Amino acid sequence: MKANLKKIFRENSNFKSDRRQFLQKSALAGLGIAFLAKSNDAAAAIEFTTQKVSRSSSPTDLKITDLRVAHTKDGPILKMYTNQDIYGLGEVRDIADPRYALFLKSRLLGLNPCNVEQIFKAIKQFGDHGRQGGGVSGVEMCLWDLAGKAYGVPAYQLLGGKYRDKVRIYADTPSSKDPAVYAQRMKHRMEQGYTFLKMDFGVGLIKDIPGALIGEKFWSGQSEWNQNKLGNLSNTKHPFTRIQITDLGLEKMVEYVHQVREIVGYEIPMSADHFGHFDTNTAIRLGNAVEKYQLAWLEDMVPWFYTEKWKEITQAINTPTLTGEDIYGKEAFIKLCDERAVDMVHPDLASAGGLLETKKIGDYAEEKGIAMAMHFAGTPVSFMANVHCAAATQNFVALEHHDVDTPYWEDYVTGDKPLVVNGFAPVPEKPGLGIDLNEDVVKEHLKEGEKLFAPTEEWNKRDSWDRQWS
């Protein structure tokens, strides 16, 4: 039998004489000795053992050759090319500049993308909180997609395996100043299969009611999203606006929550989104006022970096507190967890540093008895990165979805769809992130003046000494 096998190997053009290559392709150790011994057709046996081996990838020889971007209206999508016939997809966080990622290109060329953690540690210094973490995070997504494709396994498997086959989604719901209208929109979410809801009842709800807010007139007419105007509300940290909610304003907000709860009921968890810029004392008053409605959490009541203020709020109210969507890296989350400053953490994978860093955040929080929800707003590329991370993290609660009502959203990608079924995202079993792009649809939704994965040679070279130590 052995002699016959050797003859077949020598004569079969599909097998090279190199012993190492043969062993890589045949994978006989786990399958074949007993099977081959019983087989009457050795050639058929060999074909069986090799049919699932990827012939398009040699992971140890994989090299990054290019990084390009398709800047869509829903976020910048990254495409990382290699010297083999595979590429990786990632995404820079929504409303972020793709140059946060392109800046890293010269530091990636020629590296093996399968060395994910090593590369992440080399580029981590170039990310920062908020959207500034989007470049490093998007590149990290590309690396995991490539590594999964190279080894033929889904990304969650490379993170240590999965705790769940489907990921629970909580849906963002368009706001309304009419609580009855808003409640019906949330009821519709329940009819769609969602088992976790999030509502909006921030200061924007009462800003037009006379006597509801103190100090609001100073900021009147200033958009929270206008970052270019000096002294704008968005550029002023919460404690310094001196906006306060009056008893009347508090009464109106509580009544709003009451009416929504009356219609929606108590069967499904209901959390609360960002409230606007007001001080710590007002946050405590609001938290106590809505306690009886058993909200799942109160989100981003003050900026995440005010650890002591968060601790003060958390200790003063019984409704769970949550923050983290603008935090980059695990270090700030560790501080929040160690200080017991919040009840839940809420990383955005596209800001936090990517899949592995977000899993590390979840794992550390788990050790402290703290649950993790995940913030998300972007295209299906980043969404699926979140799904893999959520599947691989035990203390995960729910993942946000901002585009439930966007008709073309799932069309960005090909593969197994729908991406969300009855309020849950099935965890894909295909290699990497488990999706590919529908480039025709991507083209349709590019930002004005942008091209689909245009060359980026201007980012190929660097003249910089990046090491932070000597």
Tokens 């329940």 correspond to what residue?
190
Distance CA 91, CA 76 (A): 6
Strands 298-299 and 321-323: parallel
Q: What is the pLDDT of residue 6?
A: 44
Burial (CB < 10 A; 0-12, 13-18, 19+), residue 437, is: buried
Residue 113 has pLDDT above 80, yes or no: yes
Residue 171 in tokens = 């849906």
Q: What is the pLDDT of residue 158?
A: 98
Residue 47 has pLDDT above 50, yes or no: no
Taking the CB of residue 248, how many other CB atoms lie within 10 A of it?
14
pLDDT of 153-177, one tens digit each?
Answer: 999 999 999 999 999 999 888 889 9
By three-state DSSP, how is residue 296 classified?
coil
Range 59-152+452-459 has CATH code 3.30.390.10: yes
Q: What is the pLDDT of residue 221?
A: 65
Quick one: pLDDT band at residue 318, thresholds 50, 70, 90? Answer: very high
CATH superfamily of 173-376: Enolase-like C-terminal domain (3.20.20.120)
pLDDT of 411-460, one tens digit each?
Answer: 999 989 999 999 999 999 999 999 999 999 999 999 999 999 999 999 99
Domain boundaries, the chain: 2-50, 59-152+452-459, 173-376
Domain 173-376 in the same topology as domain 59-152+452-459? no
By three-state DSSP, how is residue 341 classified?
coil
